[in-house]
């Protein structure tokens, strides 16, 4: 019996993006689908049963949004798949063309795009509202003809037709952050971690400044793992008070993130109060919980509900550096209570915030599309 070929398309993400490759593509491959991933990459290759079909890496954003999109479209036609699953709003025109040519198409909406555009530093402020409106119109028009929509959060799902939309949240893989060499919590150094994209809107300036407010006797240090955006931001924050207590390790593969989180006492997720974050489910929050460390998170209503229900950390105003410093100090000075928070968070992920249930929802929408 012929296997159903599914083709994942991305122009923005790394081909080995955790959601796209390690969660969705692997889930589908293990379920019997023939999975092809078309993305900017250095070479064609086969990895974990998934065929990676490369297109040249773009040098600049404009080239990515024009030339790379066209290259992905041409490559996708060469695969002759049964279902095409794309991950970036700039690929909506491709999705429409594929659908009009008779292919089945799924749009994976990772972010609340119209709200996200309102915070894009590289779009002139006077243009953002208009660009956001155009993006929303494009998404709605596409959703009318696509076979399915996969939304990363319930808030995103509400913007699309319920009859063809499923929420597949970016929760951790089972035991992804388990480590046989995890040191005892109370034996760890007074280290704090932030993993993910590093930008002003995600609180990097406040995180660095807070380090200068902590008593020197604590010996605390902040480990930043990720990429600065824009690149020049690294130089800017490196001139700030507190940077001498920061260890910037750059982007790290998943195994190194597991090792890093096993050696710290606290994870930070201090995103600014902008529309795109209020109803988001930040992946790093659940990764901290999965690794068994307490969290210090922005006090948004949805996040408060998650953190308080799980008893897994503390919440603060992300703009109040004094309050952030006091919360960090409390966590570091109360290791017994902090360890209990970490254990509670880990249990909440195992019980409620695991990829296991999300994987089944993904398989369900594929079954509906295939039949």
pLDDT tens figures, 276-290: 899 999 999 999 999
User: Do residues 212 and 241 lie in contact, with contact meaning Cβ atoms separated by under 8 Å?
Assistant: yes
195-254 pLDDT tens trace: 999 999 999 999 999 999 999 999 999 999 999 999 899 999 999 999 999 999 999 998
What domains sit in the chain, N to C, each tagged with a CATH number? 5-171+354-370 (3.40.50.2000), 185-351 (3.40.50.2000)
Alpha helices in 163-310 (DSSP H): 204-211, 233-238, 254-261, 275-278, 283-291, 301-310
Q: What's the rounded Cα separation, in Å, for the pair 1 and 276? A: 44
pLDDT of residue 180: 57
d(CA 95, CA 19): 19
Of the CA atoms within 13 Å of residue 236, those in its CB half-sphere come to 12
Residue partners of 171: CB distance under 8 A and separation at least 6: 286, 349, 353, 354, 355, 357, 358
Distance CA 51, CA 169 (A): 24
The SS3 of residue 236 is helix
Residue 182 binned pLDDT confidence (cut-offs 50, 70, 90): confident
Closest CA to 112 of 153, 161, 166: 153
Q: Evaluate whether 303 touches 363 at the Cβ level (below 8 Å).
A: no
Cβ atoms of 96 and 142 within 8 Å: the answer is yes
What is the tens place of the pLDDT at every residue in 101-158?
A: 999 999 999 999 998 888 888 889 999 999 999 999 999 999 999 999 999 999 999 9
- Gap between the Cα atoms of 339 and 335, Å rounded: 6
Residues of the chain with pLDDT > 90: what percent? Answer: 88
- Residue 78, C-beta contacts closer than 8 angstroms, at least 6 positions apart: 53
This prediction's pTM: 0.91
pLDDT of 181 higher than 70: no
Task: Look at residue 3 in the predicted model and tell me its pLDDT.
Answer: 87
Q: Pairing relation of β-strands 313-316 and 45-47? A: unpaired
Handedness of CA 355, 345, 221, 205 (dihedral sign): positive
- CB of 53 closer than 8 Å to CB of 36: yes
Residue 1 has pLDDT above 60, yes or no: no
């Amino acid at each position: 019996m012929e296997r159903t070929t599914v083709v994942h398309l991305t122009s923005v993400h790394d081909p080995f993006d955790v959601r796209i490759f390690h969660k969705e593509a692997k889930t589908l491959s293990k379920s019997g689908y023939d999975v092809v991933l078309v993305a900017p990459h250095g070479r064609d290759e086969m990895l974990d049963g998934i065929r990676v079909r490369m297109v040249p890496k773009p040098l600049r954003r404009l080239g990515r949004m024009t030339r790379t999109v066209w290259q992905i479209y041409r490559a996708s036609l060469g695969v002759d798949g049964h279902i095409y699953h794309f991950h970036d709003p700039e690929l909506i025109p491709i999705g429409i063309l594929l659908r009009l040519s008779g292919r089945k198409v799924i749009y994976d909406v990772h972010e609340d795009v119209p709200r996200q555009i309102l915070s894009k530093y590289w779009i002139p402020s006077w243009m953002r509202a208009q660009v956001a409106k155009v993006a929303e119109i494009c998404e709605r028009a596409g959703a009318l003809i696509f076979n399915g929509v996969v939304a990363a959060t319930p808030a995103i799902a509400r913007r699309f037709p319920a009859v063809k939309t499923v929420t597949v949240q970016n929760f951790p893989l089972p035991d992804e952050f388990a480590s046989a060499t995890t040191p005892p919590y109370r034996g760890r150094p007074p280290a704090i971690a932030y993993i993910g994209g590093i930008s002003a809107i995600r609180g990097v300036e406040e995180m660095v400044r807070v380090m200068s407010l902590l008593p020197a006797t604590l010996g605390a240090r902040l480990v930043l793992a990720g990429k600065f955006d824009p690149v020049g931001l690294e130089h800017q924050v490196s001139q700030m008070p507190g940077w001498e207590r920061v260890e910037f390790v750059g982007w790290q593969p998943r195994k190194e993130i597991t090792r890093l989180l096993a050696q710290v006492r606290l994870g930070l997720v201090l995103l600014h109060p902008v529309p795109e974050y209020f109803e988001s489910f930040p992946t790093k929050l659940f990764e901290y919980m999965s690794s068994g460390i307490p969290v210090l998170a922005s006090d948004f209503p949805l996040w408060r509900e998650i953190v308080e229900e799980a008893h897994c950390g503390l919440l603060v105003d992300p703009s109040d550096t004094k309050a952030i410093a006091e919360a960090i100090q409390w966590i570091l000075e109360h290791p017994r209570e902090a360890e209990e928070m970490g254990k509670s968070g880990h249990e909440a992920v195992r019980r409620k915030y695991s990829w296991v249930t999300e994987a089944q929802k993904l398989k369900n929408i594929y079954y509906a599309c295939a039949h």
